[in-house]
Amino acid sequence: MTLISILLALALEYFLGPMDRFRNFQWFENYINWLEIKFQRHTFWDSNLGVIISIAIPIIILMLVDLVLGEIFIGLSFVLAILVFVYCLGPDINIVLTNYTQALEGNLEEDIAVIESSLNLKSEENQYNETQTISAILIRAHDYIFGVLFWFIILGMSGALLFSLSLLIKNKYDGVHGGYATAGRELYKILIWPSSRLLAIGFAIGGSLVDTLERWRKIEGETREVSHQIISESGLGALQFEENPTSDSEEAKSNYIQCIKEAQALINRSLIVWLTMLGLLTLGGFLS
């Protein structure tokens, strides 16, 4: 059922087009703000417990809705799982990257600025940092697709929502000091630990295995702190990426666009690898 849910959800996204207009998490931000006003004077709020309370209540409500729907008709629970998975996915990375390359080719500066902001890129005019861009794209692909997919496989729709809400808290309090912000970042680091390593394996299978493992092997640091680095370095290795500096602005732009397209192709190949492995695990009886 897990595999069928994922395939139907991805098909829904593909055939109906981007579902971003339905992915409105403003309710969660308003809910967090309300909780903060309500409990900010209490010591428990500015700690791990505050983050747990913030995320646990929406997940408990989802589980209760699922329980009620399952009692009415088991098919409703199945439909709910598909809808929650689609809701938790981020913006379609293929569309984002296609729009980005088209904007670059057409010199559409406003569109470029909007897309670079969504990808958390910091660039200057006619300055093309290929390494930074590929790394940012791969990390966004993890957050938009693979992290949600991993936790949906492990914990069902509650896992997908857990990952999405932890990402929202991490982004909302990015750069903010305090116990709540720190706890939010730590939860995100814990959740991406397994999915980042599995994504690196997906990159290795979908690209250059030797180069991926070589770059991964050289990464040093505390294990929870290097997950993003593992994603970016393994992806760069899978692409066999090497900096190719040039003084010609048009050539530099052409190389930059090509790097984006190659990163996009790697993401798609890695998704196919994941789905293939999921299918094999399902056929082998390891997953339902």
| Per-residue pLDDT at 153 | 95
SS3 breakdown of the chain: % helix, strand, coil, rounded to 5?
A: 80, 0, 20
Long-range pairs, 244-250, Cβ under 8 A, ≥24: 244/130, 249/126
- Tell me the pLDDT of the chain averaged across its residues: 90
Domain boundaries, the chain: 2-283
Which structure tokens are listed for 34? 């309300």
73-82, 181-190, 242-251: which has the minimum mean pLDDT?
242-251
Residue 287 has pLDDT above 80, yes or no: no
pLDDT tens for residues 93-111?
Answer: 999 999 999 998 888 888 8
